[in-house]
């Protein structure tokens, strides 16, 4: 006779572990970024594939430009043209462990990390709630115009 209790217990344990992981992720709260931290992202940026350790970037073609505006507090707006279509999204920037999660008003959650004073990587959040850095995009500030303080503050 087949002992089905063992296999049911295994499934129950899996579901309990999954539920615990989801609850744990839900209780981790990233604090809103300060106004200064959110304002840092404002400006004009060129966007391209982020470098991935162990891989060579061979992507070519035209660079993409993005404009990020600081709205107020921890809120920013990203304007980017992809495939000939303008996309505008608003985000709340959070601070968590040295990185900056971006929570989109209409979904589209990302995590950013600064590389230096003029560049950062923006990566999508995967199904398990972790940044997928291997799918990230490198944002590089554009010249003096992009670094201008008035432009960075969205004025």
Q: What is the pLDDT of residue 61?
A: 60
pLDDT above 80: residue 112:
yes
Query: CATH no. for residue 42?
Result: 2.40.128
- Residue 146 and residue 43 in contact, taking contact as beta carbons nearer than 8 Å: yes
Confidence label for 19 from pLDDT (cuts 50, 70 and 90): very low
Report CA Rg, the chain: 20
Domain range for 102: 32-152
**Residues 60-84: what's their mean pLDDT?**
91
**Total structural domains within the chain:** 1
- Residue 51 and residue 57 in contact, taking contact as beta carbons nearer than 8 Å: yes
Q: What is the pLDDT of residue 154?
A: 42
Neighbours of 130 (CB within 10 A): 11
pLDDT above 60: residue 20:
no
In a domain, 7, yes or no: no
Judged on CB neighbours under 10 Å (0-12, 13-18, 19+), 99 is middle
Share of the chain above pLDDT 70, in %: 68
In a domain, 13, yes or no: no
In a domain, 51, yes or no: yes
In a domain, 106, yes or no: yes
**Residues 15-44: what's their mean pLDDT?**
71
Q: Which residue has the higher pLDDT, 13 or 66?
A: 66
Q: Rounded distance, CA 73 to CA 45, Å?
A: 21
CA separation, residue 72 to residues 24, 42, 121 (Å): 30, 11, 22
């Amino acid at each position: 006779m087949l002992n089905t209790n063992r296999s049911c217990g295994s499934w129950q344990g899996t579901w309990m572990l999954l539920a615990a992981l989801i609850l744990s992720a839900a209780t981790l709260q990233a604090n809103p970024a300060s106004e200064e931290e959110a304002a840092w992202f404002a400006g004009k940026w060129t966007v391209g594939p982020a470098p991935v350790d162990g891989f060579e970037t061979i992507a070519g073609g035209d660079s993409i430009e993005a404009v990020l505006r600081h709205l107020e507090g921890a809120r920013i707006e990203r304007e980017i043209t992809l495939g000939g279509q303008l996309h505008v999204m608003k985000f709340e920037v959070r601070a968590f462990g040295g990185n900056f999660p971006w929570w989109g008003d209409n979904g589209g959650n990302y995590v950013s990390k600064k590389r230096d004073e003029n560049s950062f990587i923006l990566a999508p959040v995967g199904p398990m709630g972790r940044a997928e850095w291997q799918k990230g995009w490198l944002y590089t500030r554009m010249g003096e115009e992009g670094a201008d303080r008035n432009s960075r503050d969205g004025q």
